[in-house]
């Protein structure tokens, strides 16, 4: 799968829109996508991440919350697949900059939306699908 030009969506990102979108689509998107998004969201707030990586994260999160992307989110099953691919791509790029505390914070938030059996899918975070 070729990634879309997600950096052009950087202007679409806002904290309010991110929280609203994730809250609205959490169950439909699945624990893996929400966990990836939360890790990036919390990493964005860190002062330990470079400006270049922050820009990439903002582009990815802007792409995720934009209703107008390559595959519209309203399309069942595949609608969020491109969003997940972009989030995982960026997550892999910045993974070495991610503090374990951020992962814990994201998992704590995930526990509020998902059951333990649903959360199991985050164990294979970098396996798409």
Each residue's pLDDT tens digit, 26-70:
887 889 999 999 999 999 999 989 999 999 999 999 988 887 665
Per-residue pLDDT at 76 exceeds 70: no
Spatial CA neighbour of 97 closest among 32, 51, 58? 51
Confidence (pLDDT) at 40: 97
Q: What is the DSSP letter of 69?
A: S
pLDDT: which is higher, 9 or 68? 9
Query: What is the Cα–Cα distance from 7 to 61, expressed in whole angstroms?
Result: 10
Q: What are phi and psi of 49, to 5 degrees?
A: -110, 145
Query: What is the Cα–Cα distance from 108 to 114, expressed in whole angstroms?
Result: 10
Report the share of the chain in percent with pLDDT over 90: 38
Please answer whether residues 38 and 90 qualify as being in contact, where contact means their C-beta atoms are separated by less than 8 angstroms.
no
């Amino acid at each position: 799968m070729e990634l879309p030009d997600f950096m052009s969506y950087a202007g679409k990102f806002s904290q309010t829109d991110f929280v609203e979108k994730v809250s609205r689509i959490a169950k439909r998107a699945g624990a893996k996508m929400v966990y990836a998004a939360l890790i990036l969201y919390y990493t964005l707030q860190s002062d330990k991440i470079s400006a270049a990586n922050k820009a990439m994260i903002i582009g990815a999160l802007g792409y995720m919350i934009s209703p107008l992307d390559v595959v519209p989110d309203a399309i069942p099953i595949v609608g969020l697949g491109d969003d997940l691919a972009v989030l995982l791509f960026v997550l892999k790029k910045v993974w070495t900059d991610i503090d374990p505390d951020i992962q814990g914070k994201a998992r704590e938030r995930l526990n509020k939306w998902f059951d333990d059996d649903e959360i199991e899918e985050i164990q294979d975070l970098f396996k798409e699908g």
